[in-house]
A = this chain, B = another copy of it.
Amino acid sequence: MTIESSFAARDRTAHPLDIATRLERSSNGRLHGATAEDYWNMTGPWGGTTAATLLRAALESPSRFGDPVALTVNFCAPIARGEFFIDLREVRRNRSTQHWSIELSQDGQGVAATASAVFAARRETWAHRPAVMPEVPPPAALRPMSTEGRNAWLQRYDFRFVEGEPDFGPRAEGALSGTRSRVWLSELPARRLDFLSLAALTDIFFVRIFQVRGRMSPASTVSLTSYFHVDETDLAALDPQPLLGTVDSRVFTKGYFDQSAEIWSPGGALLATTAQTVYYKE
């Protein structure tokens, strides 16, 4: 029995994200987990599950302090189907912050992903919210994007595009779409929004090059940074999903482009902001 099927067998009622990101401690002290078919992307696990798995290592550490504030994930190499190991190191602990270094590797393959995470004890302070959620039609007024027959991870979410739904239909040679998308997002099946869900969601936005050119081409996120603007208390008090995601890019040049995104609660709170750099081949 593979590790994954062993996890699944024990957790028949668990959400697929909990199974995909599950970690256990090996006899040698390292954490280990396994890739999940439920979140498979084109040639490896979807980056959102990798980000959530790396964060989970710190979230579940007995010495965890506070809530995640910043997470950077570097995707170093493809992750193969099967088992992986995670090495977690507390780099520094201060009075109100904790810095983690996290690495994912596979036997005989070296390091496939690294992460740094900053945790902090958050407390009430002066607050200010200059950014406001864009006014968009409600999710009920929009149809869900069809994910049937597509990569497994897409089927773990309900996508309702307000604007910028990828259009892979015929288009004039060289015609480009806009870079921005706005989309209502829900987890399938539903899941209580926590930092695992949120970390995964920061990588949910289709790489902009597909959107702009209206076709798939070799491209992959190389580095992803997410900032969380909520703590556990805020998350527990939130309205249910769907969440509003907005994403845009500014420059595509010499094989790399930037991509920035926001995730808003249905009530208009900015939950997370992210930035990433994405490799593209041609």
Contacts and interface: CB of A to CB of B under 8 A. Distances in A.
B222 A225 contact: no
Give the dominant DSSP class at A's interface: strand
A131 to B, nearest CB: 4
B128 A223 contact: no
B281 A118 contact: no
Given A92-B111, A116-B116, A223 B70 contact: yes
A222 B99 CA distance: 10
A69 B256 contact: yes
Contacts of A249: 130
Contacts of A131: 250-251
A64 interface: no
Interface of A: 69-70, 72, 74, 76-77, 91-92, 94, 96-97, 99, 101, 103, 110-112, 114, 116, 118, 120, 122-131, 176, 178-179, 212-213, 222-223, 225, 227, 229-231, 234, 249-258, 260, 262, 270, 273, 275, 277, 279-282
21 contacts: A69-B277, A72-B225, A74-B99, A76-B91, A76-B92, A91-B103, A97-B222, A97-B279, A122-B254, A125-B252, A125-B254, A125-B281, A128-B212, A128-B253, A128-B257, A130-B179, A223-B225, A223-B227, A227-B275, A229-B251, A260-B273
Give 9 nearest A-B pairs by CB, closest first: A131-B250, A122-B254, A76-B92, A70-B223, A128-B252, A225-B225, A72-B72, A275-B275, A127-B253
Given A76-B94, A251-B273, 7 more contacts: A77-B92, A92-B110, A123-B254, A129-B252, A130-B212, A227-B277, A258-B273
